[in-house]
């Protein structure tokens, strides 16, 4: 593996936020809706701390026996992030995110063609569909529900499987950005509601949809595209806690 000297650096950050203080800040900003995922609130907290340098995608990792952690990818290095937060973040934001715990590492500048990597990712497997054949209007659909609708009565007979449909969707997203999916195993399959702000900056809508966590193995087919994928994230809602590819060693073949 050789270093790509022209590649824009990509960094992974780690924080140990205070969930109670974070929840109070999110609620105080009017960004909390009962029963909805807090991804928008965490997005707003990161923006309040780091502005345009805020990590995206990011992921909140909950642990049963220790405090949660926040991981994310950003183009800014540790010094730049600290300088921005020290200058502009309000004390309540700093306390909620645990900015004293901020750590970062530089990701590889180059991956090797055919390199096998283990991964874990939280995704929202959806597609955009036009409404009533009107191409000016569309909606977000669960890819499994869309597949079941397309299959019609055959869906039951053919044993259409939610995890399989989601894994196929994931393979397509990885394939478009320089990686081939070798295997994917679901760690969690559920449906969650998310809230978003409208053009008037009002928090509206409880958009229910799929929320899946997969682990598996991929193979890098185009190193430059794959590296862009890390910084971009997988699927939709990447700014709100979905789509961050966490890498790990792949088991030997």
CA atoms within 13 A on the CB side of 219: 8
Q: Hey, how many other C-beta atoms are within 10 angstroms of the C-beta on 13?
A: 23
| pLDDT range class, residue 233, cuts 50, 70, 90 | very high
Which of 85, 90, 97 has the alpha carbon at shortest distance from 20? 97
Q: Where are the beta strands (DSSP E) in 143-230?
A: 179-197, 203-220
Residue 110, both tokens: 């180059």
What kind of architecture, by CATH, is found in domain 116-249? 2-Layer Sandwich (3.30)
**Residues forming CATH 3.30.70.1210 domain(s) in the chain:** 116-249
In which band, very low, low, confident or very high, does the pLDDT at 190 lie, cut at 50, 70 and 90?
A: very high
Alpha-carbon distance 170 to 180, whole Å? 10
pLDDT of amino acid 159? 73
Residue 3: pLDDT band with limits 50, 70, 90: very low
Q: Residue 164 corresponds to which tokens in the numbers above?
A: 């399989």
| Rounded Cα–Cα distance for residues 97 and 46 (Å) | 8
How far is Cα 120 from Cα 21, in angstroms, rounded to an integer? 28
Phi, psi of 147 (to 5 degrees): -70, -40
The contacts of residue 241 (CB under 8 Å, 6+ apart) are 37, 38, 39, 42, 43, 57, 58, 59, 60, 122
Query: How far is it, in rounded angstroms, from Cα 253 to Cα 251?
Result: 6
Please state, as a whole number, how many other Cβ atoms lie within 10 Å of the Cβ of residue 76.
20
Q: Which helix (H) or strand (E) holds 47?
A: helix 39-50
DSSP per residue, 86-106: HHH--HHHHHHHTGGG-EEEE
pLDDT in tens, 130-165: 665 655 556 789 999 998 888 877 656 567 899 999
Contacts of 220 (CB under 8 A, 6+ apart): 111, 112, 113, 114, 115, 116, 117, 178, 179, 226
What is the value of pTM for the model shown? 0.89
Band (71; pLDDT cuts 50, 70, 90): very high
Nearest partner of 239 among 61, 55, 100, judged by Cα: 55
Note the pLDDT of residue 79.
97
- CB 70 within 8 Å of CB 226: no
Count of Cβ atoms closer than 10 Å to residue 188 Cβ: 9
pLDDT digits (tens, 9 = 90+) for 123-133: 999 998 766 56
Q: What is the pLDDT of residue 1?
A: 44
């Amino acid at each position: 593996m050789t270093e790509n000297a022209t590649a824009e650096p990509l960094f992974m950050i780690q924080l140990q936020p205070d969930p109670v203080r974070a929840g109070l800040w999110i609620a105080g900003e009017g960004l909390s809706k009962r029963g909805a995922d807090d991804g928008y609130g965490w997005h707003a907290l990161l923006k309040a701390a780091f502005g345009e340098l805020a990590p995206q995608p990011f992921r909140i990792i909950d642990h049963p026996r220790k405090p949660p952690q926040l991981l994310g990818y950003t183009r800014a290095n540790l010094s730049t992030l600290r300088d921005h937060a020290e200058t502009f973040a309000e004390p309540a934001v700093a306390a909620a995110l645990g900015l004293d715990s901020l750590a970062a590492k530089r990701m590889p500048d180059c991956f090797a063609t055919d390199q096998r990597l283990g991964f874990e990712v939280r995704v929202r497997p959806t597609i955009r569909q036009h409404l009533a054949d009107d191409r000016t209007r569309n909606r977000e659909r669960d890819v499994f529900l869309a597949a079941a609708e397309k299959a019609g009565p055959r869906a039951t007979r053919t044993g259409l499987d939610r995890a399989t449909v989601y894994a196929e969707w994931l393979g397509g997203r990885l394939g478009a950005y320089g990686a081939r999916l070798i295997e994917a195993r679901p760690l969690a399959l559920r449906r969650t509601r998310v809230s978003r702000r409208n053009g008037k900056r009002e928090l509206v809508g409880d958009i229910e949809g799929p929320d899946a966590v997969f682990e598996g193995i991929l193979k890098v087919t185009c190193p430059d595209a794959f590296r862009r994928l890390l910084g971009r994230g997988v699927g939709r809602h990447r700014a709100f806690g979905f789509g961050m590819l966490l890498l790990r060693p792949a088991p030997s073949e």
